[in-house]
Amino acid sequence: MENSIGTVIMATLFAILIYFLVTAQAKDPNIEEEELQAYNYMLSINDKMEKYLNKKVLSDWAYASNLTQENLNKNIKISAEVANIQKEIWHQIAQYNWQQFSDYSLRRQFWAYSTIGENALPEPQFKMLKKLVSDMESIYSTAKICDYKNSTKCDLLLEPDLTNILATSNDEKELRHVWIEWRNSIGPKCKDSYKSYVALSNEGAKLNNFSDQGEVWLKDYEDDTIKEQVHGNMWGQTWDNIAEKTLPYPDVEDSDYTAEMIKQNYTAIKIFQTAENFFKSINLTEMPRTFWKNSILEKPADRNLICHASAWDFYDQKDFRIKQCTEVTYEQMSTAHHEMGHIEYFLQYKDQPVPFRTGANDGDCISLSFGTTTHLRKIGLITSDNPDPKIVLNNLYRVGLGKIAFLPFGYLMDLWRWDVFSGKTTPDNYNCKWWELREKYQGLEPPVDRSEEDFDPAAKYHIIADVPYLRYFISFVIQFQFHRALCEKAGQYEPNNPKKPLHECDIYENTDAGNALK
């Protein structure tokens, strides 16, 4: 018994000793003093970064919304200035023992600044990299092809011309023509630039102590065959554009939401007002006046621009914009909700330190609630009051074409690039490896033979614009988890209750769900 008591006493004394050793280390006066200095330093650079990032985003916007050489030159110059500022901060924070700081928020801010990617490059190489990406973006955004039915009409752009053809045409020869000519107008022009882009990106990654750019892209994730052209999308990434051609119940009333939008005289502005109304109804923030004043919601007729839909935070707590060449389609309505979801995120974290002004998770759950038959009936895109199960099945079919068919594409986009950055895939087999992955994961093959003279990955904006894609793959999974949690909060979903199924949940006008989302 005495031995047992003695063992307990010794164990207790040992635990107390360890506690005091750990506590003494945590309260190292030198670290405490350094942490206080670091806190003040982080406050000072937050103000500095707001100013410079606002200047940079204004320049990014100017170029993306008007692709002129003058705007490009200004953009590269300002981007280099901001890169130099971030490089200074990068060197300064390396002098702090920030990993030992007790304040978790402060450690995370230092961690965020500890990797600066391409900004670590010497200025000449940085400017070269920016120009390479900008040139490829310009090639992509200004690419035009000739009309299959009129070879003298050679002004067809991706948005809206080619997108509409792929979504509506049943002529396989026309679809093949569009598929081939779009890739021919971009890939060969971008391949050499892409090789140089890979080399410079990897050089920047190594300056950040990563082996290649693929590792940099994965840094934030720290916690542990069919003929392609028939799928209604330029890249075969989602297949929902062909829903109207393949619906299980095509003759059911209310099956064509785009037609109903046109019938109801929807415009680009009305599409975004509808999206804003959704967010306001769940107690999120209405769009500021600057949004409506400064956003580009329709394609301007007087200039070339990057039409790829995007949301913008100008780092001044008041200027937030969307750039979207909106057409009156159901798909574009869904995109508007998606992009405005980014703006809502910006509005919620606008007063956070700069490193924290980014999405905590890659989700896209609002579009799920927007797309239910319950919600579409509320906003009048489904006009029948009859809850016909065939309408529900048609709608679920659309969701499947958009969400499930996307997953392999969302995965292989960066899988291909990781191998490119690591050197496993070399320039002499870029295209071959691309189509190996397309066939392996999507079951897709090109409508015509391809070779290394082609560079088909460049036909996708994110490839040539230096935009990682794994975020989309992850979002297409966890958005259903977010949606389920919000629906439970709203009292509209109960597991095993057939009267409250998840696919009929609509959080519209439910402030409990909106407050939880905040």
**Residues that are catalytic:** 339, 462
**Are 74 and 80 spatial neighbours (Cβ–Cβ below 8 Å)?**
no
Closest CA to 255 of 374, 334, 373: 373
Q: How many CB atoms lie within 10 A of CB 263?
A: 11
Within 208-321, residue ranges assigned H as helices are 213-218, 243-246, 257-263, 268-281, 289-294
Closest CA to 331 of 252, 269, 243: 243
Tokens of 320: 């937030």
**What is the radius of gyration, based on Cα positions, of the chain?**
26
Residue 471 is labelled as binding a ligand: yes
Residue 221 is labelled as binding a ligand: yes
Q: State how far the alpha carbon of 484 is from the alpha carbons of 170, 222, 283, 393, 401, in Å.
A: 37, 25, 19, 19, 20
Q: How many CB atoms lie within 10 A of CB 434?
A: 24
Spatial separation of the C-alpha atoms in residues 42 and 110, rounded to whole Å: 8
Token pair 């030198």: residue: 30
Closest CA to 321 of 293, 299, 349, 291: 291
Tokens of 180: 């081939």
Tokens of 362: 């890659």
Helix, strand, or coil here: 102? coil
Spatial separation of the C-alpha atoms in residues 402 and 331, rounded to whole Å: 10
Helix, strand, or coil here: 324? coil
Q: State how far the alpha carbon of 104 is from the alpha carbons of 49, 109, 110, 418, in Å.
A: 21, 9, 10, 31
H or E element, residue 391:
helix 389-403
Within 264-325, residue ranges assigned H as helices are 268-281, 289-294
- Residue 283 φ/ψ region, left for φ over 0, alpha for ψ in the -120 to 50 degree band, beta for the rest: left
Residue count of the chain: 518
Known binding-site positions = 221, 338, 342, 471
Known binding-site positions for chloride = 221, 471
